[in-house]
Structure 1
Amino acid sequence: MDPISAALLAALAGGVGGELGRQVWAGLGTLVRKPFQRDEDGGQLPATRPGEAELTRLEEQPDDPMRAQALSTALAMRAAEDSDFRTGLQQWLTQATALVHSGGGETRNEISGGAFHGPVLQGRDFSGASFTTHTQPSPQERAVRSAIDLSYERLDPLHARLFRLLPLNAGPDISTSAATHLAGIDRDEAEKLLQDLARAHLIEPGDTRGRWRLHDLVRLYADETGKIHAGADDREAARRRLYAHYIAMASAASYASLPWVIFQEPFSPPKAGDVRFSSRGQAAAWLDGEHTNLVAAVTAPQAEGRPGLRVALAWIMGPYLGARWHHDDLVTVTETVLAISHDPNRSTVPVARVLAYLGRELEHCEHEKHGLLACAFKAQARALTIFREHHDRTREAWALFNLSRTHHADRQLHRASEALAQAAAIFREVGDQDGVDAACSRRRRLYLSGQV
């Protein structure tokens, strides 16, 4: 259904139509206060019924066009999600329109200029809707788009720029701190801008304090608009700042919370930046809170375009994903880096080092979840190939050492022994005594166990 005219809502809230008009308005209140039911399962229901707060605010000040528009948009968004509410609202609109057209007031349920505009937006979890579809948009999509249009047009340049940059964060929500780095402004200013955007219902508070999220349709709108203004917003610089923030924080958090995991591997990620956490618990909490954002920054389609930063973040994330048993994410991250490595411009030693580490992490996690070795083999084999292409003999030897461990985990014992022998030979060739000792120690363990 088309959105309800803000003028109609304001008129009825103000008493147009006399006693009959008040009855019609009371009917809308009864409808809005019914329990909210989404057409599809999934997602947490809001604590308040959508439209209830907007209706109350308009009753308090019916001559405020912004409040009328807010209620109109909230009703449209709820109707898009709740079919029972949509049916009831259509019946109510028929009654209200009949009242207006019968002379109960001067209001007309019209959309001036052929398009509805509303300043605010509320709602979430829509399905099957896209701003970029080639098919005719549904009435619900038109209502959402027109609501966002006017909301966006009312933003000043600072608010509009931050709104356009937010979709660069590929994850489901963003912290105030991350938004601060994304926009390149100070934290107080970022927090104020985010709060203002939330009051305009262009974003909404996340599940925890200091986090913010975009509805899927709003994200599409902001991203489309952001691409148009990419030059003025310095969009790529903003993306780099966001990745630099995530890399520095994830590195510090990993080293603070998982030191026993990181320091023992030859291809372990280096520590990036000088960020410090006050405790191991605080560091672990940061990683847990940003987990989905960090994985999305590496793997999500919209993250494409900065392969170097994505690979660096994947390297930093490896220890955490393994230690916290996020095995599926570890596989997805590894496969993403593998795909990047097949770009001729990205077949480099740094990328191979990341693959070698991720492959080792997958092998190490095999005892916790079976089925990880296939991806581990692919990562380690690709790393070995790249090291050989670049004639990096020392890292080639360490890649063989790791590959031998994966063969061992896969019970390919003779291959494990052969890889160790090759690694030991290269270590001797390059004069790496630590490598020689590690390979020999590993080989003795195979012999002492009677396995080779």
Structure 2
Amino acid sequence: MTGDTTGVTGSRNHHNEISGGVFHNVVVQGGTVTLQLPPTLTPALTGMPSPAATFTGRESEVNLLLDGLRPPPQGSVRQVVSGLAGIGKTELVLQVAHRALQEDGRFPGGALFIDLFGYDTERRVTPDRALGQLLRALGIPDEHVPAGLQERTRLYRSVLASYADQGRRVLLVLDNARTAEQVAPLLSGDPRIPALVTSRHTLALPDAHLHDLSVLDEAAAVELLDGALRKARGPAEGRVASAPDEAAALARLCGFLPLALRIVAALLADLPQRPLSSMTEALEDSRQRLGRLSREDLAVRAAFGLSYEHLGAGQARLFRLLPINPGADIATEAAARLADTEPYPAEEVLQDLARGHLIEPGATYGRWRMHDLIRLYAEELGREQDPEAERRAARGRLHVHYLSTAREAGYRLHSDGPAREAALAWLEDERANLVATTVAAVGLGYVWVPGHLLTSLTGFLSRQRYFVDWVIIAAAALDCARASGSRADEALALFGLSGPLRSLRRFDEACSALERAIAYYRSSADPHLEGSALVDLGLVFQEMRRFDDAVTALTRALSLLREVGDRHGVGKALTNLGLVHMDLHHSDEAIDLFTQDIAICVELGDRLGEAQTLGSLGTVLRRENRLDEAADALTRGLAAHREVGDTHGEAQTLNNLGLVWRRMDRLEESVEAHTRAIEIFRLTHAPRSKGLALNNLGLALLTAERFEEAVGPLELAIRTFREIADRHQEGGALTNLASVLAKLDRPEEAVDAATRSVDCLRATGDRHGEAVALYGLARHLEQAGRSEEALAALAAAVPLLRETNNQDYAAAAEAAQNALRAKPRT
């Protein structure tokens, strides 16, 4: 303030001008008085803690929050970071605030920081107390701070606006708020004054930009662990670097939660000789993990406890019940059954828990999940506070819900339209829970659960090719059947187990399971189930190339199933017998058998069975060079697969159509069909089918003389078949690769591939395939200038070709022999 004295003799006129300051009380005038703004606020002056030296995995969040701190109109006035206790909310905003303050000119007025202790009932800071602290930090003397909340709020906002007017923009950092009411009076109404707010709850603040913080990913979690250890013990600390797998295991046991990771780092830093494996062993016991994640004033359980204390009775009860669900997430309807209430009130409670970040939304709407450590905490509380009878009743309600809904969904898979799609969607969403429920039921003594789920889910698991899950459920059903002493249930479980074992190409185990089931059905005079099991046994024998055994089993199955009038079972037996005859190159017999089954499927309205058998018919017609008929059968099958929503069957049919189109010189369509099939097989996790399509794509590219392009798919097919130990298909792909390499004038590589093909096919007992591979090897040996070896290969091939009734190849091989013998020796 400056005081100017002007006027005439005998008179003094005063002109007072007050500028360059912020004043909120009486201004005392003197002759010359100068008032200045309080000094620029700095983190040290406002009590803002220093950020941690080890900070990782949050760069995208930091950049997003920094962008929100830009001056208006680009920035966001209020940004709320919310998340689970211990997830690193405070650390994130501290990092952001310090970086923002270091940028020249962004916040010349400094920052105001306050910890509101929203979840600590003893230290919680009320809005009026918070305003008093903030006004003092802004330079307002105690005697000028009003007593009432409204007056303090008005003064606070006026001071902040005045700072902004003077070009001294201030950043507000309001940490650890529990409710919107606690923090709202502390926010400026001026868009020039932004605020960073943290809370365990999602706060309903007007015009706020909400940021939900997630746990770290594994790499960032390991990096945090390593950085914290090195900060404590110096650069020589190398336990994480020398044991990365143990470090990753520790990070997983900590649930990738920063608080837990920092506690583990502190415990390891206390004892530099302690290996990571020792800490891993200590935390692997889930019942002791929370207790061991503590050091001095840091404890994961205590952090979670502050959130739990503020729950209402209904919220706390459901929170304690949720871990009873054995899967990783839970639907609102299932949670309602746990709590013995209706879905709508359950959803309201779940939403409250999610706002408090004690649970979080799942991958799709209406599903919820818990962080691993929160789950342990809730389970611990449930065991301590809820009577075992109540927990057992809740578990029973949940099992009934899963069993009844799975049974209904299994029925609806055979319907059409929206009902089938809804059933399939529910089964996909709940698959992990249903498998986990089955496993948990074994340990809990609920021996009826696995068998019921196996019956309800077999169609779904088979159709969607979830063979590993199918094995788990069937094995659990078998364990429970044996525990109950029911031989009938044991036989049914063995029968159920054989399906996924066959699909996983574990043929010996599948054969053993079926033979034990058949022995029981035969002894108990149950021709229907005996016949049904024989149908599957015949298919296993066919895959094992035990064709005589397959014919015997399937012939017996046909007799039994015709006797009991099971038309559907008869159709399956006919098709499986047709597959055997197709492998034996008895094409006429195979065509007749497939045609009979198709007629039965049409009679019964079984579109899926019809589609599958049309695919087999198309394959044998292609082999007989009846290409137009093959294309017709496969096109009809493709339409049926699409009609019933069978994407895997659609891909198989596309793969077969590609082979037909290649033979018809429709090469672009062939390549396109195989490429589309490969894409679907990747999505349906069908490695063998994907390998077949890759092999066929390579063959189509070979025919189109796109030799360089053909190498990649064929090599990938070979690798795929080797990984799943399918030596027969590996041999076929090697034969095709040898042909491509020969076209690329790489004869020695072609000889190597052809030699490996012969070895693979010989090992499987495929005499016909071995003979054809030997003939191919001879051609490649001749190209490589190794005539004597070529003659030896032909000498081995000719009798095998005659033996397997492949007269055309035999004649070609003999002609090649004669031509080689006639060539002059060099």
Matches within 5 A, 1:118-267: 123=257, 128=280, 129=283, 130-133=285-288, 137-139=292-294, 143-228=299-384, 231=387, 234-257=390-413
Rounded Cα–Cα distance in structure 1 between residues aligned with 2:355 and 2:576: 64
Contact 1:164 1:226 in 2 (8 A): yes
What TM-score results when the alignment is normalised by the length of structure 1?
0.64
Rounded Cα–Cα distance in structure 2 between residues aligned with 1:48 and 1:34: 18
Match of 1:352 in 2: 491
Q: Which runs of 5+ in 2 are unaligned?
A: 1-40, 60-80, 95-111, 121-174, 179-197, 202-212, 234-254, 262-278, 587-826
Rounded Cα–Cα distance in structure 2 between residues aligned with 1:382 and 1:153: 57
- 1:53, CA displacement in angstroms? 7.0
Rounded Cα–Cα distance in structure 2 between residues aligned with 1:73 and 1:425: 69
Match of 2:191 in 1: none
Match of 2:542 in 1: 408
| Residue among 476, 481, 493 paired with 1:336 | 476
Amino acid at match of 1:401: V
Per-residue CA deviations over 1:298-333 (Å, capped at 9, x if unaligned) read 235886432311222233222222222223322333
Match of 2:48 in 1: 25
- 1:236, CA displacement in angstroms? 2.6
Per-residue CA deviations over 1:239-293 (Å, capped at 9, x if unaligned) read 2322332233334434444559xxxxxxxxxxxxxxxx94443333333222222
Per-residue CA deviations over 1:69-126 (Å, capped at 9, x if unaligned) read 9879999x989873377579989xxxxxxxxxxxxxxxxxxxxxxxxxxxxx994897
Rounded Cα–Cα distance in structure 2 between residues aligned with 1:32 and 1:194: 35
Rounded Cα–Cα distance in structure 2 between residues aligned with 1:190 and 1:84: 42
Rounded Cα–Cα distance in structure 2 between residues aligned with 1:230 and 1:375: 44
| Residue among 118, 132, 138 paired with 1:64 | 118
Rounded Cα–Cα distance in structure 2 between residues aligned with 1:426 and 1:390: 14
Please, which moves more after superposition, 138-147 or 435-444? 435-444
Rounded Cα–Cα distance in structure 2 between residues aligned with 1:285 and 1:319: 14
| Residue among 457, 460, 470 paired with 1:317 | 457
Match of 2:564 in 1: 432
- The structure with the largest alpha-carbon Rg is 2
Taking structure 1 as reference, are residues 27 and 310 closer, same or farther at Cα in structure 2, changes over 3 Å only? same
Rounded Cα–Cα distance in structure 2 between residues aligned with 1:88 and 1:442: 67
Contact 1:356 1:380 in 2 (8 A): yes
Rounded Cα–Cα distance in structure 1 between residues aligned with 2:434 and 2:481: 20
Contact 1:387 1:393 in 2 (8 A): yes
- 1:334, CA displacement in angstroms? 2.9
- 1:173, CA displacement in angstroms? 0.9
Per-residue CA deviations over 1:193-244 (Å, capped at 9, x if unaligned) read 2122223332222232222111222222333433445646622332232233
Matches within 5 A, 1:257-336: 257=413, 278-299=418-439, 304-336=444-476
Taking structure 1 as reference, are residues 181 and 420 closer, same or farther at Cα in structure 2, changes over 3 Å only? same
- 1:335, CA displacement in angstroms? 2.8
Rounded Cα–Cα distance in structure 2 between residues aligned with 1:138 and 1:450: 61
Match of 1:52 in 2: 89
Contact 1:319 1:361 in 2 (8 A): no
- 1:185, CA displacement in angstroms? 0.6
Match of 1:36 in 2: 58
- 1:191, CA displacement in angstroms? 1.0
Query: What is the aligned-residue RMSD (CA, Å)?
Result: 4.8
% same residue: 31
SS of the aligned residue for 2:566 comes to: helix
- 1:388, CA displacement in angstroms? 5.0
Per-residue CA deviations over 1:415-440 (Å, capped at 9, x if unaligned) read 22333455466568xx5143795698
Hey, which bits of structure 1, 4+ residues long, moved more than 6 A? 30-34, 53-58, 69-75, 77-81, 87-91, 124-127
Contact 1:166 1:179 in 2 (8 A): yes
What TM-score results when the alignment is normalised by the length of structure 2?
0.38
Contact 2:531 2:561 in 1 (8 A): yes
Taking structure 1 as reference, are residues 135 and 73 closer, same or farther at Cα in structure 2, changes over 3 Å only? closer
Rounded Cα–Cα distance in structure 1 between residues aligned with 2:313 and 2:322: 14
Contact 1:331 1:372 in 2 (8 A): no
Match of 2:642 in 1: none
Rounded Cα–Cα distance in structure 1 between residues aligned with 2:360 and 2:518: 47
- 1:186, CA displacement in angstroms? 0.9
Match of 1:8 in 2: none
Taking structure 1 as reference, are residues 209 and 437 closer, same or farther at Cα in structure 2, changes over 3 Å only? closer
Rounded Cα–Cα distance in structure 1 between residues aligned with 2:326 and 2:469: 15
Rounded Cα–Cα distance in structure 2 between residues aligned with 1:347 and 1:337: 11
Contact 1:151 1:200 in 2 (8 A): yes
Taking structure 1 as reference, are residues 299 and 410 closer, same or farther at Cα in structure 2, changes over 3 Å only? farther
Matches within 5 A, 1:412-423: 412-423=546-557
Contact 1:131 1:217 in 2 (8 A): no
- 1:32, CA displacement in angstroms? 10
Contact 1:159 1:193 in 2 (8 A): yes
Rounded Cα–Cα distance in structure 1 between residues aligned with 2:403 and 2:227: 45
Q: Which runs of 5+ in 1 are unaligned?
A: 1-17, 38-46, 92-120, 261-276
Rounded Cα–Cα distance in structure 2 between residues aligned with 1:411 and 1:175: 46
Relative CO higher for 1 or 2, CA cutoff 8 Å, sep ≥ 6?
1
Structure 1 position 83 matched with structure 2 position 225: yes
Amino acid at match of 1:400: L
Amino acid at match of 2:118: D
Contact 2:117 2:177 in 1 (8 A): no
- 1:446, CA displacement in angstroms? 7.4
Contact 1:296 1:303 in 2 (8 A): no
Rounded Cα–Cα distance in structure 2 between residues aligned with 1:80 and 1:143: 18
SS of the aligned residue for 1:209 comes to: coil
Please, which moves more after superposition, 185-194 or 161-170? 161-170
Per-residue CA deviations over 1:147-205 (Å, capped at 9, x if unaligned) read 23444454444223322221222211111122112222111211122122223332222
